[in-house]
Amino acid sequence: MAPFAYSSEKGVYLDVQSGSLMGLVHASAGYEYTDRHHVMGGLGYVPKLDEHREMGLASIRYRYQNPMQWSFAALDRDWTIKPFNLGIGLLYADHDELFVSLPEQYPDGYYGPTGLRAIFNYQAIVQFDASFEAYLDISVIDFGLAYYIREPDFFYENYDFLGLDGITNWGVGMRYWF
Amino acid sequence: MMIFNKFKLKLVTIVTLAIFLSACQFEISPWATDVNCPASVSVASNLAKLEAFEAQQGPITDYKVALLSDPQMYPGAFEDVIKRINTMDDVSFILLSGDLSESGLKAEIEWTCKAMTKSTKPIFAVIGNHDALGFGQEMWLSVFGPYDFSFTYQDSKFVAYNDNKYEFDNVPDRDWLQAEGAVNAGEVRQNTIAVSHIAPWPHDLELSQNFKDYGFDLTVHGHEHDFNFWQLSDVMLPHYITSFTKFDEYGILTVSGTDLSLENCKGSVCTPADPRTITN
């Protein structure tokens, strides 16, 4: 069974994601600039919740899409799973309590930016026609990965699944290829 | 064989993802404030624990207090120090002088809480400058409790206060410190000891003098990521700074009646510390 080819000759798509640290909703424009390599720029939103302040998010992301694919038929349609995809991105949060440039009250170099973080992620993609695909996203924030590499025993002992439960977050999304 | 191997790879991948998905969290941003820390790390909970311990212990004149600080970025090392302190029977409780997180983020606070729950002794945390970043101030209040608090143990009073002046207005609260330092009629007070994240800075003559005037005998701090111990020549109130826990370092305060002595410890080796006198 042949896997799907994308319908888009331009390699341009719209991505909408929820969770995995990217906001309740995060919409991005994506571009496959060369085979397997993708870049995206997006805007996200977090509403005011009991456990969250309202804030806007912005991101730029890169994703490497491994060519391995598994195709199968089910429910009267063809499906393709692309199981190995890795990415990295920068996530910016717009809120008065957070900053990228150090506020004037602090001496130079006192803090790093509090409103900017690097996010590492893994995606498992399911393509169900030439224009649409859905994905599961699992992300790790920059310091989470750093602490895990530095002190794996702490996470092994305190969290499940080799300690990865302590540093990972999940989300879902969909893409539409133009 | 190849088909079987491909099938096994698919099966392992799918099962791994399914297990993983059941374990990790759906989080809509790194800046959430619903910190998942147990009530046992709160000041209130530890006050109750210390009270019960003191009641069981009865009156004693000699005991020790472990002084830990700045566990940020190394929760594993912090947990190791806590486990070491657990083996010290003569340590009554732990003072944790701030910077439990690097950026005031929920995940960091949760990791530090995990380590704190390993303590068999009461552990009291004061807020550090890094803890106050982002939405850390709000999370601190919900997890640990008030920024300023005090308690008495074996007739010595320990006064924890917030002095992160870049992040808060009007700190430290000197009126409150003065009131806490005062000995009430009929009260037995062996020592009055202040604890905060940052020592009077930089070599703040006025604040050091204030503490002396308020009746304090010693102040203990963190923040500098190294041991330090000084007093101003015009005031002669000692200010002790404990190192950070990254390299298994901590301080030990020994209380013998009204005698207070400090040690700098690395691993199982402790050396006496004496304040250097700084001429104003």
- Looking at residues A43-56, what average pLDDT do you find? 95
* pLDDT (tens digit per residue) in B135-158: 999 999 999 999 999 999 999 999
Q: Is residue B271 helix, strand or coil?
A: strand
Residue A2 belongs to a domain: no
The domains found in chain B, sorted by start residue, are: 40-270 (3.60.21.10)
State residue A103's pLDDT score: 93
Among B16, B28, B82, most A C-beta atoms within 10 A, so best to mutate, is B28
For residues A70 and A53, the answer to whether their CB atoms sit within 8 Å is no
Q: Is residue B96 helix, strand or coil?
A: strand
d(CA B250, CA B91): 13
Residue range of the domain that includes A79: 12-177
Instruction: Provide the number of structural domains found in chain A.
Output: 1
Residue of A nearest to B29 (CA): A21
Residue A5 belongs to a domain: no
Residue A1 belongs to a domain: no
State residue A164's pLDDT score: 93
State residue A75's pLDDT score: 84
Burial bucket for residue A8 (CB in 10 Å: 0-12, 13-18, 19+): middle
User: Is the per-residue pLDDT at A10 higher than 90?
Assistant: no
Residue A7 belongs to a domain: no
Q: Which residues pair with A72 in a beta bridge?
A: A79
User: Is the per-residue pLDDT at A76 higher than 90?
Assistant: no
Cβ within 8 Å, pair B133-A114:
yes
Residue of A nearest to B30 (CA): A21
Q: Which of B127, B112, B146, B132 is nearest to B36 (CA)?
A: B112
For residues A105 and B166, the answer to whether their CB atoms sit within 8 Å is yes
Residue A62 belongs to a domain: yes
Burial bucket for residue A67 (CB in 10 Å: 0-12, 13-18, 19+): exposed
Assembly ipTM: 0.92
User: Is the per-residue pLDDT at A91 higher than 90?
Assistant: yes
B102 shares contact with chain A (CB less than 8 Å): yes
CATH code of the domain in which A157 resides? 2.40.160.20
Residue B108: pLDDT band (50, 70, 90) is: very high
The shortest C-alpha distance from A75 to chain B (Å) reads: 19
| R_g of chain A, CA atoms, integer Å | 18
d(CA B41, CA A19): 29
Give the end-to-end CA distance of chain B in Å, rounded to a whole number: 82
Nearest Cβ partner of B23 from A51, A114, A160? A160
Residue A152 belongs to a domain: yes
**Contacts with B32 from chain A: Cβ below 8 Å:** 51-52
Nearest Cβ partner of B30 from A70, A117, A158? A117
State residue A88's pLDDT score: 98
User: Is the per-residue pLDDT at A1 higher than 70?
Assistant: no
B74 shares contact with chain A (CB less than 8 Å): yes
Mean pLDDT over the full length of chain B: 94
User: Is the per-residue pLDDT at B1 higher than 70?
Assistant: no
What angle is formed at CA A154 by the lines to CA A153 and CA A159, rounded to 5 degrees? 105
State residue A31's pLDDT score: 95
Cβ within 8 Å, pair A114-B77:
no
User: Is the per-residue pLDDT at A140 higher than 80?
Assistant: yes
- Residue B106 CA to chain centroid, in angstroms? 18
Q: Is residue B62 helix, strand or coil?
A: strand
User: Is the per-residue pLDDT at B71 higher than 90?
Assistant: yes
Residue B24: pLDDT band (50, 70, 90) is: confident
Cβ within 8 Å, pair B23-A144:
no
The shortest C-alpha distance from A33 to chain B (Å) reads: 28
**Contacts with B134 from chain A: Cβ below 8 Å:** 97-98, 114
User: Is the per-residue pLDDT at A9 higher than 70?
Assistant: no
